[in-house]
Amino acid sequence: MRGVSTFKAFSRRLGVIVMALALAFTALSAAAQTHRGKTLTVLVTPGFLSKAWHTQAQEWAAQEGATVRVIEVADSELYEHMMTELITGSGAYDIVQYPPYWNGDVMPAGLLRPLDAFIEAGDIDWDDYLPVFRDNLSAWGGVTYGVQIDGDVFVLAYRKDLFEDPKEQAAFKDRYGYELTVPETWSQFLDVAEFFTRDTDGDGVVDFWGTADIARRGAVSMWHFFARLAAYLDSPHVYAGGIYFDPDTMQPLIDSPAGVRALEEFVASTEPNRSPPGIQSYDWSDVWNAFVSGQVAMVFAWPDLGPLSIDPAYSKIIGKAGFARLPGSYEVWNTETGRWEQREEAHAASPLAWGWTLGITSTSRNPDAAYDLIEYMVTGERSIEHAIWSDDGFDPYRRSQFADPRVAEAYSQIPEFMPALLANIEVGIPDLRIPGTREYYDAIELHISRALQREVTPEEALRAAARDWNNITNRRGLANQLRAYRDSLGLD
Amino acid sequence: MRRLTDPLWLTAPAVLFLIAMSVGPLFYSIWLVLHDWTIMTRLAPPFVGLANFSTLFGDSRFWMALLRTLLFVAVTVGAQLLLGLIIALLLNRDDIIGTRLLRTLAIIPIMVTPVVVGYIFRLLFHPSAGPVNHLLETIGFGAAPWTSSSQWALPTVMLVDIWQWTPFMALILLAGLQSVPQEQIEAATLDGANRFQSFIHIVLPSLAGVIAIGLVLRSIDAFKLFDTLFIITGGGPGTASEMLSYYTYLTGFSFMRLSYAASMAWVQLIVIMILAQIFIRRVLFRRDAA
């Protein structure tokens, strides 16, 4: 009997100890959960761009005992939705995910919280960020308002199997008098596009084309113009985004001789001897699809093409895609001398088109928690996953993503992909980031579209676009716009 | 002293709600028009009087969009009336098999959300992957540049609108046809009138009211077209298919120039009111006078 009562006493004690330990563990966990009970609401676009928020952000929420609500608004409605909520101060969102070319509308208007104090106190390892994403796209007037989660840049994707085919190389040399290589200049780009446009099955109908541009109005076709403009335009501030205006006078540079040549070649690229029929209605998804479905020899677009090209669900060209820096030009228009000049190396440039920035709204009731969530999302394993995942829409933005062997392993089928991304980022051209950028972009797209329709010449189109840009600048206030532009270039 | 059961008190909540929801925004839009509201000036927009209207009168993009919109309304509503009338006359006949089923099927396009219609037709008209061009090429015609050419873009949007809304016109005309007094037609037939004469002198005048209502509803709706246009062409190429509602949307919500967009909206409202008055006075009042 004594043995039984001893066992009961022991069990009782053990139970008490286990309960005490459990309580202590819970208390310690709760103490570590600095944001326990808080709710954060994040505004993102639906589909693949929300994946990280439905997975990684929820892991953070579980660790912190917090709640992360993800509100998805279609890409085409994101601007008006976000701006309406921010302007009216509804307090509906704590974090907004938006492209940095809207910086000029949201940052100086006081719609986002300054993040410098958070960054100073936090563990985001700001030095690991690639400088252009950290310095150019996240700040306004020397104050940091955003954190990049997506390193968008254009990359040239080409059919490696065709470019390396000795028969193709010989035929190209016969026709154009120089070696077939990945185009180093935009003139070569046109030759290569023309060369590959052909009837592959001999039925008399062309069924394979050299390239495909984004040419649809409203589908961000201006970036296919800016990619060429930036290659032909040399100014001291090109790589800070100085291809849009003269930073002293705010006179548009788009109608410069460099602009005219860029648009002439954009128009030439959409000729039927280089591009598929109906190219004027192609948006980015058509361009991606044309490449991964094996209809065209090369395109330049966002890095998402890399993972897509090796994804069996989408790609018919697995193992056949190569990636490179965008073409450049040996001849550049010097904005300071006002003359065409020769360069010994090709002057290359690649638009840092779109991208995604995370900002904390000025009405957020939980800015500390919001910043901790942002920090969690862009650091550690999450950032590596962003570089590896093929379906999250977030492209590399940190040095560590390029150095991680797991990322290299993920792209072992396309070994040129990550080096090509880095090469393009190194010559990256930030977007225009001043108040009213969407209006400037709408105007240039409209006139590009007219030129692509052959309604007007490239020169006429750009003259009209420059006139519209001047009108927008004057209406919004020349001094304000000039100050904003110079600030975006880091000049003041 | 009024009692709580007085009609005034009973209707007051509804009236107040109506004022808040409809008259309130109307006055706010007048205030907007008279100020310069932008993101930067939103806290204290400066008073600019009628400057937004004077800017509007010099805005060639606005006037071109207005002309394009009027052309769109004239072509689509005209075609819908004509085709709707033909369909209604066919559906009104009892000697054609399957008219009841056809009447039900006719409702389908009306029920589909315009955004969905836009995406369906964007895919159908896709230059290389679209089944319409594939069919055209298979039967020996070349592929058509439905949305990629500035000559084709607006007619393509018109075609989609006609497809979606002709059944609506057909159904309301069918309802009108079924209320045409048969005795008059029979009497006219006895007096020697043929079917065409009966149609012109009896059926059509009887349908005048229904036609006027159909024209007013469809014209107002067509004038405001946005969704399908936004999805199918995005106003392009160039401004080839840009209509007033789309330009107003861009100005207000993409460029955040709410005051200027409000002045555009007011011009649209005035044009729609004039159009509605023309239809109502010309058709309805003339019929009543007759």
- Is there a contact between B234 and A79 if contact means CB atoms under 8 Å apart? no
Average pLDDT in the B158-182 region? 93
Substitution target in A80, A217, A271, A289 with the highest count of B β-carbons within 10 Å is A217
For residue A361 the two structure tokens come to: 């709204």
Q: Helix, strand, coil % (nearest 5) of chain B?
A: 70, 0, 25
Partner A contacted by B236 (CB < 8 A): yes
Question: Tokens standing for A393?
Answer: 């829409």
Does B238 reach chain A within 8 Å, measured CB to CB?
Answer: yes
Is residue B106 within 8 A of residue B171, CB to CB? The reply is yes
Please report residues of B whose CB lies closer than 8 A to that of A105. Answer: 39, 256
- pLDDT score, position B105: 86
Query: Can you tell me the distance from the alpha carbon of A178 to that of A173, in angstroms, rounded to the nearest whole number?
Result: 5
Q: Mean per-residue pLDDT for B222-247? A: 93
Of A438, A446, A480, the CB nearest to B255: A438
Q: Are A232 and A308 in contact (CB under 8 A)?
A: no
pLDDT at position B35 over 50: yes
Q: Give B142 to chain A, closest Cα distance, Å.
A: 11
**What phi and psi, each to the nearest 5 degrees, are found at residue A350?**
-140, 125
- Contact assignment for B234 to A219 by CB distance below 8 Å: yes
Compare B10 and B61 and report the one with higher pLDDT.
B61
pLDDT tens digit at each of 492 positions of chain A? 455 566 666 667 777 776 766 666 555 555 567 899 999 999 999 988 999 999 999 999 999 999 999 999 998 899 999 999 999 889 999 999 999 999 999 999 899 999 999 999 998 999 999 999 998 899 998 899 999 999 999 999 999 999 999 999 999 999 999 999 999 999 999 999 999 999 999 988 899 999 999 999 988 999 999 999 999 999 889 999 999 999 999 999 999 999 999 999 999 999 999 999 999 999 999 999 999 999 999 999 999 999 999 999 999 999 999 999 999 999 999 999 999 999 999 999 999 999 999 999 999 999 999 999 999 999 999 999 999 988 888 999 999 999 999 999 999 999 999 999 999 999 999 999 999 999 999 999 999 999 999 999 999 999 999 999 999 999 999 999 999 999 999 887
What was the ipTM of the complex prediction?
A: 0.84
Q: DSSP assignment of B198-247, as one string?
A: HIIIIIHHHHHHHHHHHHHHHHHHHHT--HHHHHHTTT-STTTT--HHHH
Mean pLDDT in residue range B14-34: 89
Residues in A touching B28 (Cβ below 8 Å): none
All residues of chain A having their beta carbon less than 8 Å from the beta carbon of residue B58 are none
* Closest CA–CA distance from residue B233 to any residue of chain A (Å): 8
CA distance B85 to B82: 5
Percent helix, strand, coil in chain A (nearest 5)?
50, 15, 35
**pLDDT value for B22:** 83
CA distance to partner chain A, nearest, from residue B209 (Å): 40
Long-range interactions of B67-74: CB distance < 8 A, separation 24+: B68/B154, B68/B241, B68/B242, B68/B243, B68/B244, B69/B223, B69/B225, B69/B243, B69/B244, B69/B245, B70/B271, B71/B154, B72/B154, B72/B157, B72/B158, B72/B161, B72/B222, B72/B225, B72/B243, B73/B219, B73/B222, B73/B223, B73/B275
Chain B residue numbers touching A449 (CB-CB < 8 A) = 236-238
Nearest residue in chain A measured CA to CA from B240 = A450
The two tokens of residue A417 are: 């992909």
Per-residue pLDDT at B85: 94
A218, A290, A480 ranked by CB distance to B234: nearest: A218
Q: Do B238 and A216 touch (CB under 8 A)?
A: no
| More confidently predicted of B184 and B68 | B68
CA A312 to chain B, closest CA, distance in angstroms equals: 20
Chain A to chain B Cβ contacts (< 8 Å):
96
Q: Check residue A170 and give its pLDDT.
A: 98
For B233, the token pair is: 């062409």
Residue A173, Cβ neighbours under 10 Å: how many? Answer: 12
Q: Residue B19: is its pLDDT beyond 80?
A: yes
**Which single residue is written with the structure tokens 């076709």?**
A221
- Test B145 with A217 for CB contact under 8 angstroms: no
- Closest alpha carbon to A79 in A93, A94, A96, A54: A96
Separation CA B85–CA B204 (nearest Å): 10
- Single-letter code of the amino acid located at B218: R
What pLDDT does residue A1 have?
47
Interface touch B143/A278, C-beta < 8 Å: yes
What is the spatial distance between Cα A11 and Cα B223, in angstroms, rounded to a whole number? 82
- Residue pair A97/A68 in contact by the 8 Å Cβ criterion: no
Most A-contacting residue of B255, B257, B258, B260 (CB-CB within 10 A), to test interface:
B255
Q: Residue B150: closest CA among chain A residues belongs to which residue? A: A453
* Pair of tokens at residue B241: 């298919």
Write down the H helix ranges in A270-360. Answer: 284-292, 305-309
Residue B285 is predicted with a pLDDT of: 63
In this prediction, residue B24 carries a pLDDT of 86
